Amino acid sequence: MKYRSLALLGALALSAGLTGCSSSDDASDSAGGGRTVLDVWLMRDSVSAEFQKEFETGFEKAHPDIDAKIQIQEWDGIGEKVTAALASNDAPDVIEVGNTQVAQYAQSGGLTDFSGKVSDLGGDAWLKGLAEPGAYEGKQYGIPYYAANRVVIYRTDLFEKAGVDAAAIKTREDWIAATKQLNKGGTQGIYLPGQNWYVLSGFVWDEGGDLATESGGKWKGGLDSPEALRAMDFYQSLQALGKGPKDSDEAQPPQAEVMAGGEVAQIIAVPGGAKVVEEHNPELKGKLGFFPIPGKTAGTPGSVFTGGSDLVVPAVAKHQDEAYTFIKELTGDTWQRKLAPAMSYVPNRTTLADAVAADPGTAAMAVGAAQGHATPNTPQWAAVEAKNPIKEYMTAVLTGQDAAKAAAGASDTITSTLNSGS
């Protein structure tokens, strides 16, 4: 599961109600027998071919008047493609988008507002990390689809050798103590790159802070808050228990490959990273385990960045009612319980976590997902990620520069960037 952070632009100042026009009677939009042809864009790796076939068959059996045509799209270049679709008169009826991208599309009014349907869609149990970025200026445009987040991937053999019980790690203090115990005899207790800002974000949220906050229509960077500074202090303590580089992120070098090539006891990654480790070192097959990132107290797991997708409907889509029917089915209990284990994703609501209980990695994700967050909900956040002052700030602190001064500088950059489009 890759994390979606593409810089996308919203387009087209249009609006439409949920019960807007549906051209089911238009011959050009009808299949044989008067069935409505519903055009749907889902993203690569969102569904398998097997699941897609099963869903289409089940959906059309339950709704024989609708012919669902699912087209799989590639993430590369999807921003421009969605923008063009929203600005056209021939948009698909349903589109899957990254959860943090909804605000960029909703900004100009190009999406259908589902605010009146939240309760009917089970919104009271939605994962906050999907639901909150799916809303913009008080209206719900994105409907949570599925989620993924980081967990701790660990070497069971190295834990056993060091006498560490992963099940006993419930708090940050437990985690630090266990990592110190692991960090002996040539073993790296943890490999944590210095610029893994998604992990830092989780620690910031745990402390009660945020990357940026909005008040009166203006944004302010939050890295210089006392809460965020405490989070960076903890990150520094954890990072020091390994040999991770201070000036690069988890992709440089790929941390799963680092784990595969040495005596590394832990990394923080999505569970799929374990497969990468095994591919590069088959001897580790069956020797990898998972647990949620620990929180400050035993009863609450650590906060995590929620990656994943929401489903949206273009305001100009011709089949608004049928699009809603499709979304209600795909995001409802029955199909979420099938999708999650089939694709190793976290279901869109907390009440469905048991659907992935049999998969250790996904089950660990689901525990963390209950404490999931998204990046600040503004179309300008993509511009912050493009500059990424958070990474520069982290390296500055880890290389001995004054934390408060570096945080203030990064926060100023975030502030100016977020307000540049207001």
Tell me what pLDDT residue 309 has: 98
User: What is the CATH topology of the domain spanning 27-148+307-373?
Assistant: D-Maltodextrin-Binding Protein; domain 2 (3.40.190)
pLDDT score recorded for residue 108: 82
Q: How does pLDDT run across 330-354, given as a tens digit for each residue? A: 999 999 999 999 999 999 999 999 9
C-beta of residue 192 within 8 angstroms of C-beta of residue 239: yes
Tell me whether the CATH fold assigned to 27-148+307-373 matches the one assigned to 151-304+377-419: yes
Provide the 10 A C-beta neighbour count for residue 261. Answer: 12
20 has a pLDDT exceeding 70: no
Nearest to 43 by CA among 10, 8, 79: 79
Lowest mean pLDDT among 25-29, 282-286, 358-362, 415-419: 25-29
pLDDT per residue as tens digits for the range 367-404: 999 999 999 999 999 999 999 999 999 999 999 999 99
CB burial of 50-78 (b: ≥16 within 10 Å; e: otherwise) equals: eeeebbbeebbeebeebbbebeebeeeeb
Q: Which tens digits make up the pLDDT trace of 216-256? A: 999 999 999 999 999 999 999 999 999 999 999 999 999 99
What pLDDT score was predicted for residue 23? 35
> Could you say which DSSP state residue 291 is in?
E
Domain ranges of the chain: 27-148+307-373, 151-304+377-419
Reply yes or no on whether the pLDDT at 257 is more than 90. yes
The topology (CATH level 3) of 151-304+377-419 is D-Maltodextrin-Binding Protein; domain 2 (3.40.190)
Residue 92 pLDDT exceeds 80: yes
For residue 34, name the pLDDT band (cuts at 50, 70, 90).
Answer: confident
CA nearest to 102, candidates 309, 304, 349: 309
Instruction: Convert the pLDDT of each residue in 73-83 to its tens digit.
Output: 999 999 999 99
Sign of CA dihedral 357, 361, 362, 368: positive
Looking at the chain, the whole-number percentage of residues with pLDDT higher than 70 is 92
Residue 71 confidence (pLDDT)? 97
21 or 147: which carries more pLDDT confidence?
147
What's the pLDDT tens digit per position in 152-192? 999 999 999 999 999 999 999 999 999 999 999 899 999 99
